[in-house]
Amino acid sequence: MVLISLTASHRELDLDALERLSSGSMSVGRTIVGTCRPVQGSVVISTCNRFELYLDVDAPLDGDSVRHATRHVADIVAASSGITPEVAVDSFTVRTGTEVAAHLFAVAAGLDSMVVGEREIAGQVKRALHESRHDGTTSKTLELLFQTASRTSKQVAHRTTLGGTGRSLVSLGLDLAGETLRPYPAARAVIIGTGAYAGASVAALRARGCTDVRVFSGSGRAADFAASHDVVAVDVGPESLVEALADADVVVSCSGARARRGAAGPDAEVSIEYVLDAAAVARARERAAARAEDQPEPDALVILDLALHRDVDPQVADVEGVLLYDLSTLKANAPATEVAVVERAHDIVSVAAGRFEETRLGRAADAAVVALLDEAEATVAAEVEAAVRRLEAELGPYGGATEDDVEAIARGARRRVHAALHDRIVEVRAAALAAAREREAAVVRGAEEALRGSRAAEESRA
């Protein structure tokens, strides 16, 4: 079995490219496992700044299955996202073995996020595994990988200061908004969406003293969310949202529910329906101005768009009196983190990844150690037999070795043999693990080379 990850994030791609790549992410995992026989399991992480596929592949050492599986995955992603297979292949970074675990553990710990140390990603990693279980696409190895990632994230949070800084995209956005808003205890907020970021937004607003919080959901889930978070639900309907916006100082939009209309394909014409368009915001500002009465102008409205698949029409930024902060803005304003803290967190991740790999690849190593122990037992048996013969020769024909004599001889022989065996066990296990890693890496190197070669051939034919 080979672990492979295909990852794309804000570090490798601009957010527009990442959005196109992940636009069909909902069904990719099921499709991959259902149509590609070598793939035994799949988990998909799709967030506001990353799209990652983790695959458990049953691959022979010649690499053909891995090459087929990886190319097939790229084709599926391309078909679901409306991009070409070549773009999909070029967009992904392929990892294997220790690299897979080390990357996922770093992601879960918030070390690969726009805001280093953000805590929301740990929950997103857990949900990705939960969704894979629900879809029936996980595997024993992926279960172990993702559960270990969650434990490692907790270790980083507890053993470094990253866990106590409260870093997140939501917090960063609210900090930026706070530079323009009235003080948060007097501010009025509207949250669009009811997912994990919505819950984090409620908590972050309350931490800043904001108590006037309303929530809107186009799918009708606002009432349940409001009841569970002690906020006020906005009725479904565009005019209800406009009315809420007219009274708001800050809007946090994190639904990711934008719709696309039109044929799929890299060159297809599509129309986009945003959750919040410029016309609705303009109407809200007109109502706010009318309510301002003798004031020169209403307070500015700050809108945070935290959805990768933009909730808010970019033209909203052109509406008078509106400040729009999207993911690109937040990325540009993400704070630096103390180098020593990040290095400590990476050390924790590295150790955890190494231990995970020893567990995952331990079967080959364990087999080598068992063979060594069998050899040691054979040596002990031979020594005992020889020692018993010597004892009986000394005792003569009228004596003989008793059971206690044999047991004492066996204990002594086993102590001597096993004392000399420890260093050999360590060496044999390390060699077996290294060989297993190299065989796996060779398989994936072959898959990557085949993918690049296939792409080059297609380009030359074109």
State which amino acid sits at residue 402.
T
CA atoms within 13 A on the CB side of 348: 27
What are the backbone angles phi and psi of residue 51, rounded to the nearest 5°?
-140, 115
Helix axes 64-81, 28-35, angle to 10 degrees: 140
Q: 338 to each of 122, 162, 176, 226, 341, how far by Cα in Å?
A: 21, 10, 21, 37, 5
Structure tokens at 286: 């007109």
Angle at alpha carbon of residue 429, lines to 428 and 432, rounded to 5°: 85
Residues 217, 244: Cα–Cα separation, whole Å: 12
Residue 342 Cα to chain centre, angstroms = 18
Active site residue 36: no
Residues 336, 286: Cα–Cα separation, whole Å: 39
DSSP 439-462: HHHHHHHHHHHHHHHHHHHHHHH-
Neighbours of 220 (CB within 10 A): 11
Catalytic-labelled residue, pool 36, 48, 210, 254: 48
Residues 32, 36: Cα–Cα separation, whole Å: 6
- What letter would DSSP give residue 276? B
H or E, element range at 303 = strand 301-305
Structure tokens at 164: 């106590």
Structure tokens at 127: 């949900």
Q: 371 to each of 112, 345, 413, 430, how far by Cα in Å?
A: 42, 38, 19, 14
Catalytic residue list: 48
